[in-house]
Structure 1
Amino acid sequence: MGEPTVNFHVQVRSPQFKIPTELIKKNFKSIQKLIEKQKKQVTDEIAKINKNQALPTAVKLQLVRKLIAGFEQFRKKLRDAIQKDEEYRERLIARKEHLLRLNDFVKKEEQQGTGNDDEGEQQEITDEGSANNSASTETEKGANSAALPGELDLGNYSLINWYREETNLLLVDYLIRSNIGERASKDKGDNLGITLLDSLSAKHPGIAKLIDFDVYEEFNKVYTSIFISHDLTDVISWFNENKLSLKKINSNLEFEIKYCRLLSLIEKNQVSEAIRYSQENLSMYGNKENYNDFDMAKHPTNLNKLKSIGGLLLYLSINESSNTFSSNLVINSNGYKEHEKLLSHGRWDSLAQCFLDDFNTLYGISKNYPLFVYLSAGLSSLKTKSCYCNEKNTVWKSSMDYHKDEETTQNNNTKNLPTSKRLRGPNQYYSLLSKVNNCPVCSPELFALSKNLPYAQLITKIFNNPRKLPNGNIYPFDMLIHPELQPGISPETLESRKQLLDVDKIKDPLTNEIFNCKDCVRVYPA
């Protein structure tokens, strides 16, 4: 992979333009509805005055004043909507200008080589189609090209500051979006991401336009009301506001809301009202004809949930305090315990997950935190087979056992696990290790994120004739069939390797696994 280019950053940050665009569309539709509503109201009032010519002058004057007052409210709402539209457009402009700053950090040699002046570079990034075609062409050329167009000068101090701003944005994004569930309850409504954003805005006033914090705050409010407060008010309001958009993505949120509402009535022992509510609002979900082709996959799940409610009402009629043999038999049955789960926290988990999926789909938000995506990419490039395995470089001596039997390790030595917060921070970890281990993959802070990532297959420059063994490891084939070329190999090991080669077999130098030569596959690294 070559050095980062301007076009690379434009492509990576393209999702940042998705949310403001959706907000502009949503706000425009609300303006249309507002105008249509006001138009209908004025037309009806004028028609009423013209139809009743015999109305007293005082009554007509009162109706006219009512129209004027309505217009004043209309103007106020319209002005607020226009202000929102301008704010959303300013976000798009700020993000475009933030990316255009990269033109100032392009390598000077490349600028001279292409013969373009600053105006030409400006045209390169603004012409998105041209930039995409140039990037794809250079990707196909691969190593035949000496430098990619728009290659950035990583030694430029201003570019380093630009990357620092991006890092701050990633941290703010993660802290705002992750402030849900139990964490939001512990913070008592204080969002650490918003606090950090306010702190950064004091030095960089324009940074708030580079992240859609208000959208994430809205999400956190609704999600927390479901997951923590078990309140349907906010999610119902959000559903009604986005009903048409949710219908286009075939959302099942409406059923989940009504299902939770029904179980809440049953939980409060309002059985009669629950039955009536189910007949009026949930019975149609049991009929397959009410589903379109795209929603048909949801019918079996929804139907099973509706069927389970009947059994729940039956079991609730049993008096748990009764000591009769039949009551005890039913209470201790598996069916009774299964229906009891319907009133557990699980129904709120399902509703919260459904809301999360629909919210991300509407605004084009990735399911994974961008911070984790960048960290995962970097950790994968650094992760080797020696990570966690070299006891000299780690404070936990049973790191391999942690992978093999995670539960046993947790029970035996919880405090010394790699994920223990007690080990976080260089003063704690390095003092216990009695040396400095600069490997981020092995650090306690990143252990949980990096342990399931793939290993880096290439830890040096790309070698000639690379072959992949059946276990996934990649080696230069010449080194495998000519073990004498390997530096530091012992005579005994060399002799055993040659014996294997006589029968068309090779040994993995790292894992000592033996494979047939014909099972090695030629690979072509990008």
Structure 2
Amino acid sequence: MDSSKLNHEGLLALDQPLVKVPLEQLKRAFRSSQKHVEKEMAAVSAQLESALAKAAAKPDEACSAIDATLSRLQGLKRKLAEIKTEEDLYVGRTKLRLEHLAEMTRISSADSEAFTRWSKTRLSRILVDYMLRKGLSTSPAKLAADSHIEVAPAHRLDFVDIELFAQSRRIEDALRRRSCAECLQWCSENKSSLKKMKSTLEFSLRLQEYIELVRARNLPQAISHARKFLTPWSDTHMREIQQAMGMLAFSPKTACGAYKALFDDGRWEMLTEQFRADNYALNSLTLQPLLHMTLQAGLSSLKTRTCYQPPTRNINCPVCDADTFGYLAEKLPCAHHVNSCIVCRITGRIMDADNPPLVLPNGQVYSSWALQDMALRNNGAVTCPATGSTFHVSEARKAFIM
């Protein structure tokens, strides 16, 4: 198979979020403008009807109502202009990202300069995505600017979503500070989409607010909160609501397992993880960083059963190195190799006709280059790394690869 040929579908498979994220943001901005227009037009219609009713009897009040209506329409115009600017940003970003992906389909060889340039841009995007997921802010922005994947004049990012992750980080930090307000506002802004996803995040947040009120022994307010925010979920979460009501009879220091779990501070971290998962799903982002998925695509072609056996690990194999990449490949299937490839455990080099394998008297096999190099440095003596036994190099027998 010609290695210079490109598998475009494989290369672009992991790039779907690149287009989906701005598309979801555009849809959200459109829904926001639509709701705002409907709300304002309903209010304007009511004001005009009131003004017409007063026109004959109270002309001054009618004029004041018309002026208020005009002021409201001017405010609506300004708001729509802001939303239009936001929509133009997402449309432009989507267009640039589609052009970037389309460029890949026009590249036919992996050896071309165009592919090298495109790959560097893609690598920068993946690294920025990884750093943003790890909670960094300054480094990703600097890398984006240095890699020319940023629109400098407007300081807007074309191929990375720093604003999205910045918002996510603010909400996660608020949850770690035990504040549900920011996340509840996010739920309100994305209510329809979360409902389609059948998300239970809002219920979990309201339940946590109730738990904190019970923890503070503010029982009257806890009951009022439950009536207002938990009972609307009774059709789908009756069991959780009933258990929550039982908390009123227990102390935060209770040893009862069911209620001890509800009072556990670890629930805040669970809420953070639930928000992150819903946020990623809402914006069509993968749960795993793209860097991990890209590395796994390559590691799956290298993984063998011997990679996780200490005696047969290869010093040059990334899968064999459990401290760096090995953990990423743990759940991946082993690669299918039609022809076996024997690798020397001393040098990490492939044994073939130019570097044939030699068998020591204890049955261990190493490459001729490794044993000859060891013999030159030790007056013909070679020491087996696996057993520690020492032999003369002349005792090694040549093996033949079938």
The equivalent position to 1:356 in structure 2, one of 254, 276, 284, is: 276
Equivalent residue number for residue 159 of structure 1: 115
User: Does the aligned pair in 2 maintain the 1:225–1:234 contact within 8 Å?
Assistant: yes
Structure 1 length-normalised TM:
0.58
Deviation at 1:239, TM superposition (A): 1.0
Deviation at 1:454, TM superposition (A): 3.4
Local SS of the residue matching 1:316? coil
Equivalent residue number for residue 287 of structure 2: 367
Counterparts of 1:121-520 in structure 2, within 5 Å, are 153-179=109-135, 190=137, 192-201=139-148, 205=152, 208-226=157-175, 228-286=176-234, 290-291=235-236, 299=237, 303=239, 305-316=240-251, 334-335=255-256, 338-387=258-307, 389=309, 437-443=315-321, 444-458=323-337, 460=339
Distance 1:279 1:338, change over 3 A: same
User: d(CA) in 1 for partners of 2:91 and 2:194?
Assistant: 24
Amino acid at match of 1:158: A
User: d(CA) in 2 for partners of 1:207 and 1:34?
Assistant: 26
Deviations 1:482-525 (A, max 9, x none): xxxxx9899999xxxxxxxxxxxxxxxxxxxxxxxxxxxxxxxx
User: d(CA) in 2 for partners of 1:57 and 1:284?
Assistant: 46
Note the residue ranges of structure 1 that are not aligned, 5 or more in a row: 107-152, 180-186, 292-298, 321-330, 395-436, 463-486, 494-526
Local SS of the residue matching 1:251? coil
Deviations 1:31-83 (A, max 9, x none): 22222223222222221111012455543443333222212211111011111
User: d(CA) in 1 for partners of 2:13 and 2:324?
Assistant: 29
Deviations 1:215-236 (A, max 9, x none): 222222222322x111111111
User: Does the aligned pair in 1 maintain the 2:14–2:290 contact within 8 Å?
Assistant: no
User: d(CA) in 2 for partners of 1:81 and 1:203?
Assistant: 22
Local SS of the residue matching 2:337? coil
Distance 1:47 1:376, change over 3 A: same
User: d(CA) in 1 for partners of 2:156 and 2:190?
Assistant: 28
Deviation at 1:6, TM superposition (A): 3.3
User: Does the aligned pair in 1 maintain the 2:150–2:156 contact within 8 Å?
Assistant: no
Distance 1:59 1:204, change over 3 A: closer
Amino acid at match of 1:157: E
Distance 1:87 1:390, change over 3 A: same
User: Does the aligned pair in 1 maintain the 2:151–2:158 contact within 8 Å?
Assistant: no
Deviation at 1:389, TM superposition (A): 4.2
User: Does the aligned pair in 1 maintain the 2:306–2:313 contact within 8 Å?
Assistant: no
User: Does the aligned pair in 1 maintain the 2:149–2:158 contact within 8 Å?
Assistant: no
User: Does the aligned pair in 2 maintain the 1:176–1:191 contact within 8 Å?
Assistant: no
Local SS of the residue matching 2:307? coil
Deviations 1:323-355 (A, max 9, x none): xxxxxxxx6xx52x6533322223223322332
User: Does the aligned pair in 2 maintain the 1:176–1:216 contact within 8 Å?
Assistant: yes
User: Does the aligned pair in 2 maintain the 1:380–1:456 contact within 8 Å?
Assistant: yes
User: d(CA) in 1 for partners of 2:275 and 2:282?
Assistant: 11
User: d(CA) in 2 for partners of 1:393 and 1:6?
Assistant: 33
Quick check: 1:22 aligned with 2:24? yes
User: Does the aligned pair in 2 maintain the 1:18–1:363 contact within 8 Å?
Assistant: yes
Amino acid at match of 2:54: N
Distance 1:102 1:66, change over 3 A: same
User: d(CA) in 1 for partners of 2:296 and 2:179?
Assistant: 36
Amino acid at match of 1:316: S
- Number of aligned residue pairs: give it: 344
Deviations 1:151-209 (A, max 9, x none): xx111122112111101100111111232xxxxxxx7xx45433433443488759921
User: Does the aligned pair in 2 maintain the 1:387–1:442 contact within 8 Å?
Assistant: yes
User: d(CA) in 2 for partners of 1:207 and 1:382?
Assistant: 39
Higher mean C-alpha displacement, 195-204 vs 356-365: 195-204
User: d(CA) in 2 for partners of 1:357 and 1:208?
Assistant: 23
Amino acid at match of 2:216: K
Deviations 1:455-486 (A, max 9, x none): 33317489xxxxxxxxxxxxxxxxxxxxxxxx
Deviation at 1:88, TM superposition (A): 0.8
Local SS of the residue matching 2:157? helix
Quick check: 1:6 aligned with 2:8? yes
User: Does the aligned pair in 1 maintain the 2:55–2:62 contact within 8 Å?
Assistant: no
Deviations 1:262-294 (A, max 9, x none): 0011122201211222233323544xxx24xxx
Amino acid at match of 1:274: A
Deviation at 1:310, TM superposition (A): 4.2
User: Does the aligned pair in 2 maintain the 1:201–1:208 contact within 8 Å?
Assistant: no
In terms of fraction of residues, the more helix-rich structure is: 1
Deviation at 1:360, TM superposition (A): 2.6
Deviation at 1:252, TM superposition (A): 1.3
User: Does the aligned pair in 1 maintain the 2:215–2:263 contact within 8 Å?
Assistant: yes
Distance 1:174 1:314, change over 3 A: same
Amino acid at match of 2:190: N
